[in-house]
């Protein structure tokens, strides 16, 4: 088949057909008519109890079904096909000597697509067979087309998601590089945030969002003048007020995007400098007024900053950093998150070791 609705004669004659009739003579006649017309895959059974099993083992396109049969009549056969099969349900052409209006209506309501009475006209029968097979082929092609389209959409969505993550990560690193930091801080901080998120009860999906949204926490520093951002000494009161605007700037940069990733990144950028006791900025939020991702990133960011060497300070030992964090529980940090942090501290230390800063004094090979 060249496209989802382009099929030729060979497609018709390759259709899988199952004859169901308890009379051997009827089966032989139908096989002769169908094979003589060019149909290549004609199967038959004289036992109606076998039909359901046969349809589970093979995807038949058409079932030509008698109604009057011992042990199980045609109506019962159609009912048995209502049970889940291995694939699509075959089209059903009822072929019977019963020609009453009630029988035809009953058969059609039971699932038959068409109805031919005996004795039948050979040409008419073959035309009805062809019509039913054409519908089956068209439906199958549409299902294949739909599946292919869904797969293309899935792959395209994944590609767009990957591209978006790359942009997020690179923007996050851009902000850090401008602040004389390496990308390793971003990796450590975001990894610790995701780990802490899981410990705090976030789902795997939410923790993954946190992993990819948290690198944007300081993107607002792009809007801070160099003489303030890169000042080696302590900032004066005016400079500090300007520095604090990076939280709002970051939120403004990330606003207007309705994806879950960018929404979380926006919330983190805006709230990661808020404090549990309400003494933070930019809005002086406290306790649960601060979104959980913002509270998580606040703790992860401070821990990594304390235990990392900066131009203006030496790295704190982990023990000293944890003493400070305990002291700030209920003040700067969410006390429940501090407990979670302590519980997973060995795993956090492993992250620090895995993504440790390179030794600037190490010999170059």
H or E element that contains 63? strand 62-65
The answer to whether 224 and 242 are in contact (CB under 8 A) is yes
Fold of 179-354: Hypothetical protein af1432 (1.10.3210)
CB burial of 246-279 (b: ≥16 within 10 Å; e: otherwise) equals bbbbbbbbbeeeeeebbbbbbbbbbbbbbbbeee
pTM of the model: 0.58
- Tell which wins on pLDDT, 100 or 324: 324
The answer to whether 66 and 74 are in contact (CB under 8 A) is yes
Above 80 in pLDDT, residue 181? no
Q: Extract the tokens encoding 127.
A: 């035309």
DSSP three-state, residue 79 = helix
**pLDDT tens-digit series, residues 7-25:** 567 778 889 999 999 999 9
Q: Which of 66, 123, 59 is nearest to 93 (CA)?
A: 66
Cα separation, 171 vs 242, in Å, equals 21
**pLDDT tens-digit series, residues 240-257:** 999 999 999 999 988 887
- Which segments of the chain belong to CATH 3.40.50.2300? 9-150
Cα separation, 41 vs 95, in Å, equals 19
- Which segments of the chain belong to CATH 1.10.3210.10? 179-354
Q: According to the model, what pLDDT value does residue 96 have? A: 87
**pLDDT tens-digit series, residues 192-206:** 999 999 999 999 999
Above 90 in pLDDT, residue 63? yes
Listed in sequence order, the residues at least 6 apart from 111 whose beta carbon sits closer than 8 Å to its beta carbon are 78, 81, 82, 89, 92
The CATH number fitting domain 9-150, selected from 3.20.20.70, 3.40.140.10, 3.40.190.10, 3.40.50.2300 = 3.40.50.2300
Q: According to the model, what pLDDT value does residue 170 have? A: 66
Cα 199-183-207 angle, rounded to 5 deg: 20
């Amino acid at each position: 088949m060249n496209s989802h609705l382009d099929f030729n004669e060979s497609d018709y004659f390759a259709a899988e057909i199952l004859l169901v009739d308890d009379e051997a003579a009827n089966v032989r006649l139908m096989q002769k008519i169908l094979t003589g017309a060019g149909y290549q895959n004609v199967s038959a059974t004289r036992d109606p109890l076998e039909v359901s099993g046969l349809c589970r083992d093979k995807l038949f396109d058409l079932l030509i079904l008698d109604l009057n049969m011992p042990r199980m009549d045609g109506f019962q056969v159609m009912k048995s096909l209502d049970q889940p099969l291995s694939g699509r349900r075959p089209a059903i052409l009822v072929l019977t000597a019963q020609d009453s209006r009630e029988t035809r209506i009953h058969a059609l309501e039971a699932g038959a697509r068409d109805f031919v009475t005996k004795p039948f006209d050979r040409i008419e029968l073959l035309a009805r067979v062809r019509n039913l097979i054409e519908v089956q082929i068209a439906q199958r092609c549409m299902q294949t087309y739909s599946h292919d389209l869904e797969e293309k959409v899935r792959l395209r969505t994944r590609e767009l998601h990957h591209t978006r993550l790359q942009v997020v990560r690179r923007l996050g690193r851009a902000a850090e590089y401008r602040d004389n930091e390496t990308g390793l801080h971003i990796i450590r901080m975001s990894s610790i945030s995701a780990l802490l998120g899981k410990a705090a009860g976030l789902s795997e999906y939410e923790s993954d969002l946190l992993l990819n949204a948290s690198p944007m926490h300081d993107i607002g520093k792009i809007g801070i003048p160099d003489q303030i951002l890169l000042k080696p000494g302590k900032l004066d009161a005016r400079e500090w007020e300007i520095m604090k605007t990076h939280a709002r700037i970051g939120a403004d940069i990330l606003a207007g995007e309705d994806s879950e990733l960018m929404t979380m990144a926006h919330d983190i950028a805006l709230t990661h400098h808020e404090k549990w006791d309400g003494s933070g900025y930019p809005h002086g939020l406290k306790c649960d007024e601060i979104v959980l991702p913002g509270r998580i990133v606040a703790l992860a960011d401070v821990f990594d900053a304390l235990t990392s060497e900066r131009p203006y300070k030496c790295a704190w030992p982990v023990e000293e950093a944890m003493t400070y964090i305990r002291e700030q529980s209920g003040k700067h940090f969410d006390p429940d998150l501090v407990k979670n942090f302590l519980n997973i501290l060995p795993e956090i230390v492993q992250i620090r070791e895995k993504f440790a800063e390179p030794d600037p004094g190490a010999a170059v090979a």
